[in-house]
Amino acid sequence: MTTLEQGHDTRTRILAAARKLFAERGYAATSLADIAAAVGLTKTAVAYHFHPKDRLAAELIAPCADDMLDLLGAQFPDRAAFVTALVEFTVRHRAVTRLVMEDLGGADEAPPGSPGEAIRTFRDEIFAKLVGAEPSAQDRLRGWAVLGALQWGVVHTMDLPEETVRDTLTTAALAI
């Protein structure tokens, strides 16, 4: 194995460990030292590949963001089809959803160009697709209820099989 291949393998192992630990503990509660211990490296070795820790988060979020753009750009025949696709997306990316959840609280006040602004933009576009252009008060409430159920549902069920979470959340979100 060449040095370049070893470096790529190390990065891949670090990313896998970070994804798992962020999903289990949350971003703020996971240190570079925790990730290093999970991979069997020193903190310095992890920092060599990903310093500051935000670089790790950004690399984990990138594929999710691409899928989000695809979801938002797709046309759906009705609300139920969009909700089903949204649940599938959320469950498929539930480790990243856990990571992002820590930033949602401050998304409304996030400055331009920040990750929080991107999160707010995605959230607002999803909400608009859920409720339409001129939602009633009931539709607005239903939209926020669906988003809340998906966010908290995936964050607090990381220990359950993906299929169980997806099926249960689809049923619940379509009933809202």
In this predicted structure, what is the pLDDT of residue 34?
96
**Residue in the block written with tokens 């995605």:** 122
Judged against a pLDDT cut of 80, whether residue 98 lies above it is answered with no
The predicted model gives 133-140 an average pLDDT of 96
Contact 17, 30 (CB under 8 A): no
The b-or-e profile of 73-110 (16+ CB within 10 A means b, else e) is eeeeeebeebbbebbbbbbebbbbbbbbbebbeebeeb
* Range with lowest mean pLDDT among 64-68, 87-91, 105-109, 160-164: 105-109
In this predicted structure, what is the pLDDT of residue 7?
54
* Range with lowest mean pLDDT among 76-85, 145-154, 163-172: 145-154
Residue 14 CB contacts under 8 Å (≥ 6 apart), including other chains? 35, 39, 41, 46, 49, 50, 56
Q: Which residue has the higher pLDDT, 3 or 74?
A: 74
Q: Which residue has the higher pLDDT, 158 or 108?
A: 158
For the chain, count helices (H), then strands (E). 9, 0
CA nearest neighbour of 86 among 137, 129, 41, 34: 129
Q: Which residue has the higher pLDDT, 38 or 159?
A: 38
Judged against a pLDDT cut of 80, whether residue 103 lies above it is answered with no
DSSP at 28: T
Question: Rounded to whole angstroms, what are the CA distances from 78 to 23, 96, 130, 168?
Answer: 32, 27, 10, 20
Quote the mean pLDDT of the chain: 87
Percentage above 70 pLDDT, the chain:
90
The predicted model gives 44-70 an average pLDDT of 86
Contact 147, 126 (CB under 8 A): yes
In this predicted structure, what is the pLDDT of residue 4?
47
Q: What angle do CA 138, 152, 31 make, to 5 degrees?
A: 145
The predicted model gives 104-127 an average pLDDT of 77
The predicted model gives 66-73 an average pLDDT of 91
Residue 134 CB contacts under 8 Å (≥ 6 apart), including other chains? none
